[in-house]
Amino acid sequence: MFSPEGPTLRELAVQALSSVEHGYDLLAPKFDHTPFRTPDSVLTAVATALKESGPYEDGLDLCCGTGAGVDVLATVCRGRVTGVDFSAGMLDEARGRGRPAGSRVSWVRADARALPFTARFDLVVSFGAFGHFLPRELPGLFAQVYGVLRPGGRFAFPVPAPPRPSAPAFWALLGFDAVMRVRNALWRPPFVMYYRAFRLGEVRRELERAGFSVALRALPEFGTRSDGSPRVRMVEARRPD
Ligand SMILES: C[S@@+](CC[C@H](N)C(=O)[O-])C[C@H]1O[C@@H](n2cnc3c(N)ncnc32)[C@H](O)[C@@H]1O
């Protein structure tokens, strides 16, 4: 699961016993060698889909980590590109990466639940971070995103179909979430990371409640399941004009 450059089991355990923010500070130098970084196949598929609805002007990568989504924004945005994350360590890594000459990228340290921007964006993307938010935090999070979008702007993110009980991944994710629940019942500070808490139906409802109009788009690169439903979708939530 991890390459030799990735974290050791001990390092992962220390990370998991920290807060989310400090855990990522610790993991940051090795983060890109873990499966937690969004794979290029997903980033490319989202960039391809966004190119069809774009181009956009200013873009924001919410919970940017080392900048995976910033690279997507750089291909579809003509204006400013900003990455926001609350881990100083992850942002240091992101800043240390070379970006294409002329790209206008800035990095902001802030909590996604209290975004500090006065300027507005035309496109907000987010990859691989929603498991860090409890379902009860989604209304506040989506309201923040709505507030930083210009009228007509979009909030886009990929959502994989949940594995079925016949798939080993179903049991692996169930087991992971169960371990995290026990850990959080016994240990402070909590490390919120639940794979199965972010459910498309509820997410759609909360986005609509926040004022977005929501469209789902299959990402054809990942094919379909046996019942014909897409393996991965992109949510496109639009702030009305
Ligand atoms: C699994 S990483 C994903 C990073 C990157 N988006 C990617 O796909 O490779 C999750 C990121 O979310 C950030 N994060 C989690 N909760 C956050 C919050 N409330 N505000 C800002 N960043 C947050 C973490 O610091 C971490 O960098």
The SS3 call for residue 63 is coil
Phi, psi at 130, each rounded to 5°: -70, -20
> What is d(CA 33, CA 66) in angstroms, rounded to the nearest whole number?
11
Does the CB atom of residue 138 touch ligand 1 within 6 A? no
Q: Which of 169, 173, 180, 181 is nearest to 16 (CA)?
A: 180
Does the CB atom of residue 64 touch ligand 1 within 6 A? yes
Does the CB atom of residue 142 touch ligand 1 within 6 A? no
> What is d(CA 76, CA 53) in angstroms, rounded to the nearest whole number?
9
Q: Give every CB contact of residue 12 below 8 A, 6+ residues apart in sequence.
A: 27
pTM of the model: 0.95
| pLDDT above 70 (res 238) | yes
- Could you tell me what percent of the chain has a pLDDT over 90? 90
Cα of 24 from ligand 1 centre, angstroms: 8
- Residue 1 pLDDT grade (very low, low, confident, very high; cuts 50, 70, 90): low
Does the CB atom of residue 83 touch ligand 1 within 6 A? no
First to last CA, the chain: 45
Does the CB atom of residue 158 touch ligand 1 within 6 A? no
Tell me the per-residue pLDDT of 91-110, one tens digit each, with 9 for 90 and over. Answer: 999 998 877 666 789 999 99
Tell me the per-residue pLDDT of 40-55, one tens digit each, with 9 for 90 and over. Answer: 999 999 999 999 999 9
Q: Give every CB contact of residue 150 below 8 A, 6+ residues apart in sequence.
A: 120, 121, 122, 239
Does the CB atom of residue 24 touch ligand 1 within 6 A? yes
Q: What is the mean pLDDT of residues 103-122?
A: 94
- Residue 2 pLDDT grade (very low, low, confident, very high; cuts 50, 70, 90): low
Whether the CB-CB separation of 185 and 161 falls below 8 Å is answered with: no
Q: Quick one: DSSP state of residue 149?
A: E
Nearest atom, ligand 1, residue 24 CA: 25
Q: What is the mean pLDDT of residues 191-213?
A: 95
Tell me the per-residue pLDDT of 127-137, one tens digit each, with 9 for 90 and over. Answer: 999 999 999 99
Cα of 226 from ligand 1 centre, angstroms: 32
The SS3 call for residue 42 is helix
Phi, psi at 133, each rounded to 5°: -115, 135
